[in-house]
C-alpha cells in the first residue's frame, strides 16, 4: 500500500539522480526509484521542478555562441515549455472532469444498486409468502381428499340402495373425469411455465440462483404431488355432490390467482436483475474513461520529456560546431612551416 505525503524534495532528488544516470526523469521512473507515491503527486512535483530548471538554466554556453543562436535556443525552450505546460494543464483538466463524472456515476450506480437490492428482497419475501400459501392450499387439498373419500363411501351405499340413480351417477362420473382431464392439462401447463421461468431467473440473477432453485423445486414438488394424486384418483371418482363441485371450483380459482401472483413476483425479480447488470456496466464504463484520461496524461509528460531531450541534443550539436570552428581557427592561426 503506497504511503501518502511524498514531498517535493523527494521528487527533486530522484529526478536529479535519474538525470545523473543519463535517464529522463519520467513519472514511472521517479516512482520506481522512490518506491512509493501516487502518479498525480509525482506529476505535480515534477512539473514544479521542471519550471524551476527552466527559470534557472543548467547549461553554461561558451561566450563564442552568437546572440542570435542563444536567443533562438531560449525562444525554442520557452515555446516548448509553454506547449508542454498547456498540454499538461488541458489533460489534467480533462482527467479531473472524468474523475468527477466517474464518481458521480459511481454514486448514482450505488444508489440504484441499493434500490434494486431492496426490490429484490421484497420480491423474495413475496415469493416466499406465495409458496407458504401454496403449501397451505396443498394441505387443504389433502383434507378435501379425505372428505371426498368419505363422500365416495356414501355414494357407494346410495348406489346399493337406489339402482335407479345409476344413470345420474354415471353422468356425474363423466363430468368429473372431464374436469380432472382439464385440471391435468392446466397443471401440466403451469409446471412448464414455472420451469421456463426458473431457467430465465437463473440466467438473470445468478447470485440468487441457489435460493430460487430451492424454492422453485419445492413448489414443483408440491405441484407434482398434487397432479399425481389427481391422476391416482381419476378413475376412483364415483360422483360428487353439488357442494363438492363448488368447493373444487373455488380451489382452482384460488390456485390460479396464486400462480399469477407467483409469476408477478418472478417478473419483478427479473427486472431487478436486469437493472443491477446495467448499473454494473455503467460503472465499468466510467472506470474505463478514467483510465483513458490517465493514459493521455502520461503520454503528454512523455512528449514533454522528448522535447527536452531534443533541446539537449541541439545544444550538444551547437557545442560540437563551436569546437570544430575553434579548431579550424587555431589551425589557420598556427604559423606555417618554412
Number of Cβ atoms within 10 Å of the Cβ of 230:
17
For residue 70, what pLDDT is reported? 58
For residue 71, what pLDDT is reported? 64
Task: Look up residue 13 and give its three cell numbers.
Answer: 532528488
For residue 99, what pLDDT is reported? 65
For residue 215, what pLDDT is reported? 73
What is the residue-wise DSSP string for 35-85? T---HHHHHHHHHHHHHHHHHS------TTS-HHHHHHHHHHHHHHHHHHH
Helix axes 242-333, 166-204, angle to 10 degrees: 10
CA 232 to chain centre: 50
Read off the pLDDT of residues 163-191 as tens digits, 9 standing for 90 and up. Answer: 775 677 588 778 878 877 887 888 788 78
For residue 282, what pLDDT is reported? 80
Residues of the chain with pLDDT below 50 are 1-3, 60
For residue 325, what pLDDT is reported? 84
Quick one: how many helices (H) and strands (E) in the chain? 7, 0
338/336 Cα distance (integer angstroms):
6
Task: Single out the residue of 124, 97, 131, 310 nearest to residue 220, CA to CA.
Answer: 131
205/273 Cα distance (integer angstroms):
5
For residue 13, what pLDDT is reported? 93
Contact 48, 15 (CB under 8 A): no
Domain map (residue ranges) of the chain: 8-103+288-323, 131-285
Contact 159, 166 (CB under 8 A): yes
Read off the pLDDT of residues 115-151 as tens digits, 9 standing for 90 and up. Answer: 878 888 887 888 888 788 878 877 877 887 887 788 6
Number of Cβ atoms within 10 Å of the Cβ of 152:
16
185/169 Cα distance (integer angstroms):
24
Amino acid at each position: 500500500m503506497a504511503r501518502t505525503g511524498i514531498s517535493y524534495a523527494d521528487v527533486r532528488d530522484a529526478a536529479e539522480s535519474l538525470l545523473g544516470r543519463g535517464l529522463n526523469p519520467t513519472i514511472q521512473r521517479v516512482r520506481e526509484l522512490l518506491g512509493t507515491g501516487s502518479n498525480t503527486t509525482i506529476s505535480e512535483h515534477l512539473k514544479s521542478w521542471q519550471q524551476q530548471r527552466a527559470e534557472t538554466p543548467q547549461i553554461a554556453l561558451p561566450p563564442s555562441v552568437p546572440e542570435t543562436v542563444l536567443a533562438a535556443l531560449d525562444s525554442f525552450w520557452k515555446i516548448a515549455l509553454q506547449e508542454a505546460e498547456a498540454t499538461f494543464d488541458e489533460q489534467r483538466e480533462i482527467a479531473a472532469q472524468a474523475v468527477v463524472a466517474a464518481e458521480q456515476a459511481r454514486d448514482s450506480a450505488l444508489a440504484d444498486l441499493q434500490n434494486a437490492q431492496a426490490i429484490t428482497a421484497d420480491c423474495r419475501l413475496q415469493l416466499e409468502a406465495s409458496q407458504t400459501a401454496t403449501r397451505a392450499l396443498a394441505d387443504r387439498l389433502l383434507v378435501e381428499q379425505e372428505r371426498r373419500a368419505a363422500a365416495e363411501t356414501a355414494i357407494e351405499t346410495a348406489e346399493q340402495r337406489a339402482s335407479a340413480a345409476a344413470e345420474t351417477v354415471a353422468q356425474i362420473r363423466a363430468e368429473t373425469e372431464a374436469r380432472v382431464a382439464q385440471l391435468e392439462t392446466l397443471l401440466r401447463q403451469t409446471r412448464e411455465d414455472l420451469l421456463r421461468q426458473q431457467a430465465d431467473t437463473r440466467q438473470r440473477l445468478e447470485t440468487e440462483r441457489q435460493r430460487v432453485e430451492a424454492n422453485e423445486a419445492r413448489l414443483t414438488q408440491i405441484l407434482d404431488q398434487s397432479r399425481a394424486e389427481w391422476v391416482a384418483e381419476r378413475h376412483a371418482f364415483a360422483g360428487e355432490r353439488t357442494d363438492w363441485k363448488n368447493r373444487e371450483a373455488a380451489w382452482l380459482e384460488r390456485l390460479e390467482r396464486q400462480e399469477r401472483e407467483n409469476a408477478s413476483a418472478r417478473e419483478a425479480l427479473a427486472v431487478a436483475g436486469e437493472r443491477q447488470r446495467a448499473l454494473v456496466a455503467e460503472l465499468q464504463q466510467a472506470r474505463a474513461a478514467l483510465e483513458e484520461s490517465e493514459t493521455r496524461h502520461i503520454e503528454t509528460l512523455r512528449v514533454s520529456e522528448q522535447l527536452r531531450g531534443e533541446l539537449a541534443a541541439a545544444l550538444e550539436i551547437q557545442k560540437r560546431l563551436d569546437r570544430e570552428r575553434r579548431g579550424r581557427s587555431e589551425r589557420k592561426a598556427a604559423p606555417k612551416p618554412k
